[in-house]
């Protein structure tokens, strides 16, 4: 079952975006370059799909460069969408974004028709860092914890360029189980909504197959591809001294080490999904969700007949 996290302020954010989008010219959706499919909010796509969209693959310095190129090609092939990879803290790298918005909405500009941009994305993806770099001011709070921004705010980048910052928004039901784990591993989900050991095991399962050399180099291991996820987690704990009495491994501590070192890119440059993989996960999730809804409707129908 997928991890779920949709605190009350997110429902308020959803309503605010639905109201604001009427007057918006361009939507900037900030994604995590390490999980560009899982960090793309389907709820946002539903609410803003008719607007030109600039997708920013942030944290590209932490992501697998060849896979980032695949995701850029994937998103740039979508009509009305442009995708750019960058590091939000690099002020020079973010300055061209204003020009990119004008390309997407060429009819906007000047005092009579100012550019109106909505910036959105999942929690802890780097929206506030991006805004501060764009405006050359510390106008938005930043942090390494999901849910820092709680209220919408308007920021003036120029006399004819307005930017609305919104709190991080997930979606009420995550139907792709893998996305829930990837979002948790990245820090986009509140800490009380998931089991760190399970998230670490899911992360290690992927890394064993796709990045075994990084695990072996970081934790001084050999043959991780042939090991079970639990064996790798215990080996990490043993190597890092995460021990309990009588030689037992503190797997909770080992899980924290793996997750922290993924988030900081200490493990190396990693991307947890390709466009093809995510498409398969999404199709499977949609199928399971359709079956769930069909069963729910069948039970509801039986209940109505019985009454």
pLDDT at 307: 54
Which whole-number Å values give the CA distances from 222 to 219, 227, 231, 253, in the listed order? 9, 9, 12, 21
pLDDT at 77: 97
pLDDT at 147: 44
| One fold for 10-165 and 195-263 | no
Report whether 255 contacts 230 (CB < 8 A).
no
Alpha helices per DSSP H over the chain: 8-20, 42-48, 65-76, 91-94, 97-104, 127-135, 177-186, 196-210, 212-219, 229-239, 251-263, 275-306
pLDDT at 142: 44
Candidates 154, 244, 221, 188; CA nearest to 36 is 188
195-263: CATH class: mainly alpha
pLDDT at 218: 97
Q: Where are the domains of the chain?
A: 10-165, 195-263
Q: What does pLDDT average to in each consecutive run of 10 residues of the chain (307 residues)?
A: 76 85 93 97 84 96 98 96 94 90 93 93 91 73 46 84 89 91 95 94 97 97 96 96 90 97 97 98 94 87 62
CB burial of residue 55 (10 Å; 0-12, 13-18, 19+): buried
pLDDT at 143: 44
pTM of this structure:
0.89
Which residues are 153's β-sheet partners?
Answer: 165
CA distance 39 to 183: 7
3 state SS of 148: coil
Q: Which CATH superfamily is domain 10-165 in?
A: P-loop containing nucleotide triphosphate hydrolases (3.40.50.300)
């Amino acid at each position: 079952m997928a991890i779920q996290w949709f605190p009350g302020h997110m429902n308020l954010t959803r309503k605010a975006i639905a109201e604001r989008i009427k007057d918006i010219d361009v939507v900037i959706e900030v994604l995590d370059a390490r999980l560009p499919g899982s960090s793309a909010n389907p709820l946002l796509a539903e609410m803003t799909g008719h607007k030109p969209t600039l997708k920013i693959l942030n944290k590209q310095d932490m992501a697998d460069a060849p896979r980032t190129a695949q995701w850029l090609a994937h998103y740039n092939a979508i009509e009305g969408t442009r995708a750019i990879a960058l590091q939000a803290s690099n002020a020079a790298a973010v300055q061209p974004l204003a020009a990119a918005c004008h390309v997407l909405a060429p009819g906007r500009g000047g005092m009579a028709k100012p550019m109106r941009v909505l910036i959105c994305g999942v929690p802890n993806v780097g929206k506030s860092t991006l805004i501060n770099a764009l405006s050359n001011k510390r106008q938005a709070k930043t942090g390494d914890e999901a849910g820092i921004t709680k209220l919408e705010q308007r920021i003036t980048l120029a006399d004819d360029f307005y930017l609305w910052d919104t709190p991080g928004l997930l979606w009420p039901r995550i139907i792709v189980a893998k996305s829930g784990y990837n979002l948790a591993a990245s820090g986009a989900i509140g800490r009380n909504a998931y089991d760190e050991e399970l998230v670490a095991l899911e992360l290690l399962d992927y890394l064993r197959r796709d990045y075994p050399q990084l695990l072996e180099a970081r934790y001084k291991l050999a043959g991780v591809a042939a090991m079970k996820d639990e064996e790798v987690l215990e080996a990490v704990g043993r190597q890092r001294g995460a021990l309990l009495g009588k030689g037992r491994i503190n797997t909770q501590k080992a899980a924290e080490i793996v997750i922290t070192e993924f988030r900081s890119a200490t493990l190396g440059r990693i991307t947890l999904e390709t466009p093809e993989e995510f498409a398969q996960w999404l199709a499977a999730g949609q199928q399971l969700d359709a079956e769930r809804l069909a069963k729910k409707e069948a039970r509801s129908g039986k209940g109505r007949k019985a009454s």
